[in-house]
Amino acid sequence: MTDLVLERPSAADRFIATEAEYGARNYKPLDVVLTRGQGAYVWDVDGRRYLDGLAAYSAVNQGHCHPKILEAMVAQAGRLTLTSRAFRNDQLAPFYEELCTLTGSHLALPMNSGAEAVESALKVSRKWGYDVKGVAADQAEIIVCADNFHGRTLAIVGFSTDPGTYGGFGPFAPGFRIVPYGDAAALEAAITPNTVAFLVEPIQGEAGVVIPPDGYLQKARALCTRHNVILILDEIQTGLGRTGKLLAEEHDGIEADLTLVGKALGGGFYPISAVLSNKAVLGVLKPGEHGSTFGGNPLACAVARASLKVLVEEGMIDNAAEVGARLMGNLQAAVGDRVKQVRGRGLMIAVELHPDAGGARAVCEALRERGLLCKETHDHTIRIAPPLVITGTEADWIADQFDQVL
């Protein structure tokens, strides 16, 4: 008898090989092939269950396949899905009303992806600068922060400070200035009479959950008000409950002039984003000056309405605050002395390893073996951002897995 065993590729291996053969290689995912999700859990094609510690970069705050969002989506999909904005539909008005009421906004502009919301905010800020502030034609300047992440379109990557993000994609649009994040004095120094807007993340997510110094956002708010500059908060990742408040700006008691939401606005089902604003800023747009074929479509609006509803009605925002605090406390107690830092707010948490600790990717691979899916950001930081529906017991289990792996 021979011991020769012909290794048959697993279902996962075949999917991975086919992806590699036909797909652009712009991602380096963990080699787990998922086929099903429910709440905080996902299952791979070989039947293994995992707790989702990333929640699709906070696009699945409401948990996978939430039954009420599913119901709204299926019902709307059988009724009317797309009209374009050439005609009206009966989901857009209630979506506007509910979103603006919930967030205290005066006007909303619906788009699809987060990057489109950012681009829209940049466009409208320039328009406001020329029409309202009186900046001379083509002179508008927008200030952004080092280590920002606002998406992947050309204008946006043009003001990234990460060579991996902008390298090889120039030339880029002019009109942007970059200042250090968390430094109000640098912001003030960069403001000129041509400055129309300051674009900033309340917490820098992709940079590794970087929380600015206390008082920074309040100072930025005051500077923008004093110099007649639009404060744009990119809450695409921090918004909609992630940090334990509906919007992260609430932690600082401020209000932006433009607030960008996306990701969890679609409950993980459908891409929808929005620019929220006071009347003065979005009000400068006239018919024909901006648009999107799919923006504000009835399917997106129905999904977003249900996504906001369950977020609020099912107490997910408070849960993020409570369970997030418990998870942070447990992580600090369990691994605090073995890592450089555990930091976060609500369920937006990062564990930063010591630079010589062997890398975050290896830790993510080991966590995956234990049934927890997390993703590294940069080489030494692991983000923990599960759906906002996890329980205290599940949070304890997450901290335990980090304890075991580290």
Ligand X SMILES: *Cc1c(COP(=O)(O)O)cnc(C)c1O
Both structure tokens of 159 = 């003001």
Q: Pick from 385, 27, 392: which is nearest to 208 by CA? A: 385
Q: What is the per-residue DSSP string for 302-367?
A: HHHHHHHHHHHHTTHHHHHHHHHHHHHHHHHHHHTTTSSEEEEETTEEEEEPPTTS--HHHHHHHH
CB 266 to ligand X: min, Å: 9
Residue 127 annotated in active site: no
Strand 341-345 versus strand 348-352 pairing type: antiparallel
Residue number, 72 or 118, with CB nearest to ligand X: 118
Q: Which of 147, 234, 252, 257 is catalytic?
A: 234
Binding map of ligand X across residues 238-257, x = CB under 6 A, - = no contact: --------------------
CB of 237 to ligand X, least distance (A): 3
Q: From residue 354, how far is each of 154, 339, 341, 368 by CA, in Å?
A: 34, 6, 8, 20
Among 103, 160, 195, 237, which residue sits at the site for ligand X (rule: CB under 6 A)?
237
Active site residue 318: no
Burial class (CB in 10 A: 0-12, 13-18, 19+), 390: buried
Catalytic residue among 44, 127, 147, 149: 149
Distance CA(174)–CA(194), nearest Å, equals: 13
Counting residues that bind ligand X (by CB under 6 A) gives 15
Does 53 engage in binding with ligand X (CB under 6 A)? no
149 binds ligand X (CB under 6 A): yes
Element at 21 (helix H, strand E): helix 11-22
* Residue 119 binds to ligand X (criterion: CB under 6 A): no
Contact residue for ligand X among 63, 114, 212, 267 (CB under 6 A): 114
Our CB check for ligand X shows the closer of 57 and 216 to be: 57
Find the part of the chain contacting ligand X (CB under 6 A) among 86-94, 114-122, 164-172, 207-215.
Answer: 114-122
Q: Which residue is nearest to ligand X (CB)?
A: 114
Residue 59: helix, strand or coil by DSSP?
coil
Neighbours of 189 (CB within 10 A): 10
Q: Identify the active-site residue in 219, 245, 263, 375.
A: 263
Peptide bond into 171 cis (omega under 30): yes
The residue among 113 and 319 lying less far from ligand X, judged by its C-beta, is 113
Q: Is 149 a catalytic residue?
A: yes
Q: Does 236 bind ligand X (CB under 6 A)?
A: yes
Retrieve residue 145's tokens: 């922060």
262 binds ligand X, rule: CB under 6 A: yes
Site string for ligand X, 173-212 (x = CB under 6 A): ----------------------------x---x-------
* Part in contact with ligand X (CB under 6 A); list of ranges 113-121, 300-308, 375-383, 386-394: 113-121
Q: How far is 223 from 200, CA to CA, in rounded Å?
A: 13
Nearest approach, Cβ of residue 109 and ligand X (Å): 15
DSSP 364-377: HHHHHHTTEE-EEE
Amino acid at 141: E
Return the active site residues. 149, 234, 263
Binding residues (CB under 6 A) for ligand X: these are 57, 113-115, 118, 149-151, 201, 205, 234, 236-237, 262-263
